[in-house]
Amino acid sequence: MSTLKAVRGTRDLLPPETELWNRVEETARRVFARYNFGEIRTPIFEDTSLFARSVGEETDIVSKEMYTWEDRARAQSEKAQSLTLRPENTAGVVRAYIEHKLGDKGLLQKLFYIGPQFRRERPQKGRYRQFWQIGAEVIGPPSAGSESPLRDAEVLEMLASFLNELGIKDWKLTLNSVGSASDRPRYIAALREALKDKAPKMCVDCQRRAETNPLRVLDCKVPEDQPIIEALPKIAEYLDDDSKTHFAAVCAALDACGVPYEVNPRLVRGLDYYTRTTFEFSHGGLGAQNALLGGGRYDGLSEAIGGPKAPGIGFAIGEDRLILTLQAQAEAAPGGLADAYVAPLGEAMNAPALELARELRRTGLRIELGDGSFRLKKSFEVGNKLASRIVLFGEDEQKSGILTVKDFATGEQVKVARADLIHHLRG
């Protein structure tokens, strides 16, 4: 019988790596809090139609990557409901926004989330079937200023601060506008038209993309295709005046606060709900999955799933990829040594040693407690791996109240009165 393993594309996160995960999440919470974001936690599964209607029926995510099942019917007369493990979190947040009438307060809602998402793709480095996203959404009625380009710039500036504070080096922000809900179809139609006679001269992938998803042709990396792509219609030429001024205002605000970026007219995002501003922060050294985070504006999403007009902008950070990047930067893991290893000498000292450890731990010291059945040599060996100092605690020490403390780094050994132990270990 084969032993059970974590299923394909999923994995266990173990110490000390989990320490990094906590650091990432703490940093996100701290930074987002400065911008007055509040946390939202939505269910891990939702009605399938939520994703079909928001992300888009024709996208890869919805058409082939979702974990979907028929829930048991609650009554004989009822038909089974189709449920899906969330492949992303924006749809759930907007659903919650609508369901709880958050827009009725007349204010902008600023919400962030941290949690697992699920997509059934072929696993690879930086791509998992259960992966974690840290994301945020700024959404509200237009009267609250939800369409303002200032919001876009503020979110981008927040992300830059987050990455910098985390210590991510050499990130790159790429920016584009895919136009309003009406610009986009006009542009796609023009692209299809232009591709009619160009596509046959391009690579096989592009020939297919020209049919299935013309925007993707812009992403092609085949060198021979580049001149053809350059000559294709540009999205910028199809933006209406509102979209143009909106995008210009986003850029101007970023310039003003010194956030570096690059406009890439070819940056297209795969989710149907994106309008106007789209962006991506990328990082080399992640292989084929170089996108650290992505996001954009979704002015029509709420209405698409039956809600009020509620434009918004948001992003999702690939936490797994962020961790990989931090690990690659090899900031020499701090190690995580305890302050002291308390070594009971003899099993009779185990119970008194637990009490001593308790006393020390209550003051916030990080203590490893050994085992009285260990020979002294073994206590030293184990202690040396786990802590920066060892505290010997045998019957002599218990009687006299004078403990022996040895510093592993210096080899220095001293006698310390039990009453002074906390002070000594602090120093």
Partner RNA sequence: GCGGCUAUAGUUCAGCGGCAGAACGCCUGACUGUGGCUCAGGAUGUCGUGGGUUCGAUCCCCACUAGCCGCCCCA
Q: Which of 32, 51, 112, 131 binds RNA (CB under 7 A)?
A: 131
Given the DSSP bridges, would you call strands 262-263 and 172-177 parallel, antiparallel or unpaired? parallel
418 alpha-carbon distance from chain centroid: 46
CA distances from 162 to 48, 322, 333 (A): 33, 11, 20
> Which position has the token pair 């933006």?
239
1 counts as binding RNA under rule CB under 7 A: yes
Alpha-carbon distance of 37 to 325, in angstroms, equals 25
Q: Which is nearer to RNA, 255 or 396 (CB)?
A: 396
Q: Binding RNA by CB under 7 A: which of 103, 159, 321, 416?
A: 321
Closest approach, Cβ 340 to RNA, in A, equals: 13
154 binds RNA (CB under 7 A): no
The interface mask with RNA, positions 355-374, x = CB under 7 A, is --------------------
Residue of 339, 335, 346 whose CA lies nearest to 391:
339
288/332 with CB nearer RNA: 288
Q: Which of 92-100, 157-165, 191-199, 391-399 is the region at the interface with RNA (rule: CB under 7 A)? A: 391-399
Instruction: Please give the radius of gyration of the chain, using alpha carbons only, rounded to the nearest integer.
Output: 28
Identify the residue among 147, 183, 320, 339 touching RNA (CB under 7 A): 320
Query: CB of residue 79 vs RNA: minimum separation in angstroms?
Result: 27
Q: Map the footprint of RNA across residues 160-219, applying CB under 7 A.
A: 205, 209, 213, 216, 219
Cβ distance to RNA smaller for residue 133 or 148: 133
- Our finding on whether 7 is near RNA (CB under 7 A) is yes
- Joined together, the tokens standing for residue 281 give 């922060």
DSSP code of residue 80? P
Residue 378 vs 426, nearer CB to RNA: 378
Would you say 66 or 144 has its CB closer to RNA?
Answer: 66
Three-state secondary structure call for residue 60: helix
Closer to RNA by CB, 18 or 400: give it: 400
* Spatial separation of the C-alpha atoms in residues 101 and 95, rounded to whole Å: 10
In this structure, what is the dihedral angle of CA atoms 205, 209, 211, 215, given to the nearest 10 degrees?
Answer: -160
Considering only residues 268-307, where is the footprint of RNA by CB under 7 A?
269-271, 280, 287-294
For every residue of 213-268, DSSP letters joined together read -GGGGGG---GGGHHHHHHSPPGGGG--HHHHHHHHHHHHHHHHHT---EE-TT--
DSSP assignments along 162-201, one per residue: HHHHHT--S-EEEEEE---TTHHHHHHHHHHHHHHHHGGG
For 352, the token pair is 């008194």
Nearer to RNA, 16 or 308 (CB): 16
Say how many residues touch RNA, by CB under 7 A.
68
Which residues contact residue 333 at a Cβ distance below 8 angstroms, ignoring those fewer than 6 apart?
A: 16
| Contacts of RNA in 402-421 (CB under 7 A) | 404, 406, 408-409, 411, 413
Nearer CB in complex with RNA: 103/184: 184
Site string for RNA, 51-90 (x = CB under 7 A): --------xxx--x-----------------------x--
**Residue 4 within binding range of RNA, rule CB under 7 A:** no
113-121, 140-148, 306-314, 329-337 -> range binding RNA (CB under 7 A): 113-121
Tokens standing for 201? 């001269």
Min. distance of Cβ 43 from RNA in angstroms? 19
Burial (CB count within 10 angstroms: exposed 0-12, middle 13-18, buried 19+), residue 366: middle
Tell whether residue 394 is a contact of RNA (CB under 7 A). yes
Site for RNA in 232-261 (CB under 7 A): none
- Compute the C-alpha angle 223/279/329, nearest 5°: 80
Which lies closer to RNA via its Cβ, residue 110 or residue 119? 119
Q: What is the binding site for RNA (CB under 7 A)?
A: 1-2, 5, 7-9, 11, 59-61, 64, 88, 119-128, 131, 133, 205, 209, 213, 216, 219-221, 269-271, 280, 287-294, 316-318, 320-321, 345, 375-378, 380-381, 384-385, 392, 394-397, 404, 406, 408-409, 411, 413
